[in-house]
Amino acid sequence: MPMTRRGLLEGMAKLGGAGAVYETLAVWEFLQAPPALAASFELPAASGTGKTVAILGAGVSGLCAAYELDRAGYDCVILEAQRRAGGRSLTLRRGDTFQEMNQPAQTVDFDEGLWLNAGPGRIPHSHVNVIDYCRRFGVALQPFIFASRANLVHSNTLGNGRTVPVREAFYSLQGHVAELLDKCIDRGGLDLPVTGTDVEKLHDMLVQFGDLTKVDTPGKAPSWSYQNQSGRAGIATPAGVATPIKPIGPMKLEEILRSRVWSDWILRDADAYWQTSLMEPVGGMDNFAKGFLRQPLARRAGTIDGLIRYGAKVTNIDVASDKVTVAFEDGGSARTIAADYCVSTIPLPVFAKLKTNLPAPYLSAAANAQTTAAGKVGWQAERFWERDANIYGGISWTTDTIDQIWYPSSGYLSPKGTLTGAYMRGRNAIEFNVKPVAERLRIAREQGERLHLGYERYVERGVAIGWENMEFQLGGWVNEDAATFGDNSKVLAEPQGRFHMAGDQITFLSGWQEGAVLAAQYAVTGIDRQARAR
Ligand SMILES: Cc1cc2nc3c(=O)[nH]c(=O)nc-3n(C[C@H](O)[C@H](O)[C@H](O)COP(=O)(O)OP(=O)(O)OC[C@H]3O[C@@H](n4cnc5c(N)ncnc54)[C@H](O)[C@@H]3O)c2cc1C
């Protein structure tokens, strides 16, 4: 098949990330600086004076809606079913308790000062709206290390179930692909997208890109092959006094191909939202939601937190031409409130079960939303990954059910840290999360041992959360890859009179706090338009 310019760039992006694409484009001299993404949102001041809004749910989306509406003069109340704010943005610390449906409550027993993000864990640098609120609220961010080449990858089809450092699989694959491509351009007769001296530049770039070694054979033109000459794929003997490093031999191409580690794991940091840099709030992701909670109200004493009615479980929404009435249970008592407008951020699987007078097509869009199951396991442990494997942050990958092990991006060299000992989505999560907590922990220990020798002994005080088992979530997030998502979200994003939907669930950033914030801004803009028109 002829190699096209686009095909080559896509290959470069997968293997070498943005850097390799930049190099390739720079060679062709058509790199334009991308426009900077920026965020800044504000409703017109005082446009909501005298108007009331009931906000359903105190996750990131509900909190963002309340903050923006309050600044614009609206009087808000937030009804939150749980006794805490933040929704899925849940950070677990010593003494915290949570409970899945049909499972005993789990109380977190980590050492003081340790924390684990049970929901969101990272903020991509392109999520400018989330970052903008962090800036405004003084939420300190630190790098979240998504990928370290020292991380491990385990494949049940790699050798006999082998674990290797990511660098070994990644750079060996990159080297082999560069070698193959170089042979193709050398042979001629191909419909190359570049000609003349650019072909030479392409060759030079491939030598650099793939760490190719020149092979001189008497009587023949030199060729280039991948031999891990520089040691980027791994070092057998480190440099010492008067002794150079001795690189390991590269992994064989067929071994990498059979392992399937390229189908997801080792190339994951090339995906748009996983590219360096990612960030996380210092001390836990819930510090982002807490940033909203502590903001002072614009026109009276108190904070956004003071607008929340905790333990208020919404049961019924009635939308009339002049108001929205919301019924909720509060400590066993049935209550109602009426407001001029309503924003619901209640997760769709929960929302779909509420009683409402919303039109049938709207309710079927809510009921038809496909939810992705998601689950995590968390551990406390002495930092064996630093001591034994030189791992300082990042994620190790496995073809086993646990899928991933995350290492902390902070607290290096301190005695203990927390590990995310499993992070599953979709079918894996469904099968895993249906098991009792103790069984999940047992499996996570056993599968972790295949990545780190001694793992089973080191990890302790485990917790497991399956988000579809949580009463007020019933899922990880709405699946924006589902074929029906686009049509459904269009319906759900349409205001129903005075009723507006928000939450990450109506955006193509579902499963991201950026989506939760964008949806909140969208809903409050819709309310403000209606309020000013009236
Ligand atoms: C495992 C996992 C990993 C994730 N990773 C990331 C990540 O790395 N980065 C990232 O940015 N995002 C990530 N996300 C997504 C992120 O958590 C969400 O996008 C965001 O938290 C959604 O906020 P929300 O306000 O829209 O919804 P939610 O946080 O779900 O808030 C909804 C609120 O409604 C309340 N509620 C429910 N029912 C009722 C009722 N009947 N009455 C009253 N209140 C009710 C709930 O208690 C909850 O507080 C992850 C999510 C999960 C589950």
Which tokens hold the place of 11?
């290959």
The range of the structural domain enclosing residue 528 comes to 52-85+287-369+480-533
Q: How far is the CA of 480 from the centre of ligand 1 (A)?
A: 15
Rounded to an integer, the average pLDDT of 139-150 is 98
DSSP string for 458-469: H-EEEEEEEGGG
> What value does the mean pLDDT of the chain take?
92
Ligand 1 atom, smallest distance to 519 CA: 26
Residues 291 and 336 in one domain: yes
427 within some domain: yes
| pLDDT at position 40 | 84
Contact 516 CB / ligand 1 (< 6 Å): yes
Domain C-terminal end among 415, 443, 469:
469
Calpha distance 296→303 (Å, rounded): 4
218 within some domain: yes
264 within some domain: no
Please name the residues in contact with 228: beta carbons below 8 A apart, sequence gap of 6 or more: 171, 172, 175, 211, 234, 247, 248, 249, 250
| pLDDT at position 8 | 45
Ligand 1 atom, smallest distance to 122 CA: 8
| pLDDT at position 421 | 98
| pLDDT at position 219 | 93
Contact 476 CB / ligand 1 (< 6 Å): yes
Ligand 1 atom, smallest distance to 504 CA: 26
Query: Given CA atoms 11, 24, 184, 220 in this order, what sign does their dihedral have?
Result: negative
CATH number at residue 220: 1.20.1440.240
| pLDDT at position 194 | 84
Calpha distance 222→213 (Å, rounded): 10
Please name the residues in contact with 285: beta carbons below 8 A apart, sequence gap of 6 or more: 89, 91, 117, 119, 120, 121
Residues 364 and 381 in one domain: no
266 within some domain: no
| pLDDT at position 36 | 47
Residue (of 374, 381, 312, 342) closest to 523 by Cα position:
342
331 or 441, which is more confident:
441
| pLDDT at position 77 | 98
208 touches 24 (CB < 8 A): no
pLDDT at 25 over 70: no
pLDDT at 16 over 70: no
Ligand 1 atom, smallest distance to 58 CA: 49
233 touches 213 (CB < 8 A): no
| pLDDT at position 446 | 98
Contact 122 CB / ligand 1 (< 6 Å): yes
Residues 95 and 218 in one domain: no
Ligand 1 atom, smallest distance to 63 CA: 25
Contact 347 CB / ligand 1 (< 6 Å): yes
Calpha distance 505→489 (Å, rounded): 8
271 within some domain: no
| Residue to mutate (ligand 1; options 77, 78, 83, 88; most atoms within 8 A of CB) | 88
Contact 115 CB / ligand 1 (< 6 Å): no
Contact 520 CB / ligand 1 (< 6 Å): no
Residues 429 and 357 in one domain: no
Residue (of 465, 414, 455, 397) closest to 146 by Cα position:
397
| pLDDT at position 160 | 76
Rounded to an integer, the average pLDDT of 62-71 is 98
pTM: predicted TM-score of the whole model, two decimal places: 0.92
65 within some domain: yes
SS3 194: coil
CATH number at residue 72: 3.50.50.60
DSSP letter for 251, please.
P
Contact 59 CB / ligand 1 (< 6 Å): yes
Q: Is the bond leading into 277 cis (omega within 30 degrees of zero)?
A: yes
Contact 121 CB / ligand 1 (< 6 Å): yes
Percent pLDDT > 90 in the chain is 87
Residue (of 253, 182, 184) closest to 224 by Cα position:
182
Residue (of 532, 78, 57, 39) closest to 297 by Cα position:
78
Q: How far is the CA of 501 from the centre of ligand 1 (A)?
A: 14
Q: How far is the CA of 3 from the centre of ligand 1 (A)?
A: 44
Cα Rg of the chain (Å, integer): 26
**Tokens 């105190």 map to which residue?**
58
Ligand 1 atom, smallest distance to 118 CA: 1
Calpha distance 313→473 (Å, rounded): 13
Contact 131 CB / ligand 1 (< 6 Å): no
Residues 403 and 460 in one domain: yes
Domain count, the chain: 3
Contact 61 CB / ligand 1 (< 6 Å): yes
CATH number at residue 390: 3.90.660.10
| pLDDT at position 35 | 44
| pLDDT at position 491 | 98
Rounded to an integer, the average pLDDT of 467-481 is 97
Q: How far is the CA of 55 from the centre of ligand 1 (A)?
A: 15
116 touches 378 (CB < 8 A): yes
| pLDDT at position 231 | 97
Residues 168 and 249 in one domain: yes
Residues 365 and 378 in one domain: no
Residues 133 and 194 in one domain: no
520 touches 62 (CB < 8 A): yes
Calpha distance 511→59 (Å, rounded): 13
Ligand 1 atom, smallest distance to 509 CA: 19
Calpha distance 385→420 (Å, rounded): 13
167 or 29, which is more confident:
167
Please name the residues in contact with 325: beta carbons below 8 A apart, sequence gap of 6 or more: 317, 318, 336, 337, 338
Calpha distance 67→290 (Å, rounded): 12
C-alpha 306: how far from chain center = 30
| pLDDT at position 10 | 53
| pLDDT at position 525 | 98
C-alpha distance from residue 6 to each of 188, 220, 411, 452 (Å): 20, 33, 42, 40
SS3 362: helix
pLDDT at 4 over 90: no
Contact 89 CB / ligand 1 (< 6 Å): yes
pLDDT-based confidence at residue 524 (cuts at 50, 70, 90): very high
Domain C-terminal end among 446, 469, 492:
469
Residues 391 and 305 in one domain: no
Domain C-terminal end among 450, 469, 488:
469
305 within some domain: yes
DSSP string for 100-142: -TTS--EE--PPTT-EEESS---EETT-HHHHHHHHHHT--EE
Residues 177 and 244 in one domain: yes
Percent pLDDT > 70 in the chain is 93
Q: pLDDT of 321-370, one tens digit each?
A: 999 999 999 999 999 999 999 999 999 999 999 999 999 999 999 999 99
Residues paired with 327 in a beta bridge: 316, 336
Q: pLDDT of 258-301, one tens digit each?
A: 999 998 899 999 999 999 999 999 999 999 999 999 999 999 99
Query: Given CA atoms 55, 56, 58, 61 in this order, what sign does their dihedral have?
Result: negative
Contact 15 CB / ligand 1 (< 6 Å): no
Rounded to an integer, the average pLDDT of 450-476 is 98
Q: pLDDT of 75-115, one tens digit each?
A: 999 999 999 999 999 999 999 999 999 899 999 999 999 99
Rounded to an integer, the average pLDDT of 210-216 is 97
Residues 297 and 335 in one domain: yes
Residues 445 and 396 in one domain: yes
Ligand 1 atom, smallest distance to 314 CA: 42
DSSP letter for 504, please.
G
| Residue to mutate (ligand 1; options 513, 517, 521, 524; most atoms within 8 A of CB) | 513
In the 3-class helix/strand/coil scheme, how is 203-243 assigned residue by residue? HHHHHHHHCEEEECCCCCCCEEEECCCCCCCCEEECCECCE
18 within some domain: yes
Q: pLDDT of 161-186, one tens digit each?
A: 899 999 999 999 999 999 999 998 87
Residue (of 373, 359, 376, 415) closest to 91 by Cα position:
376
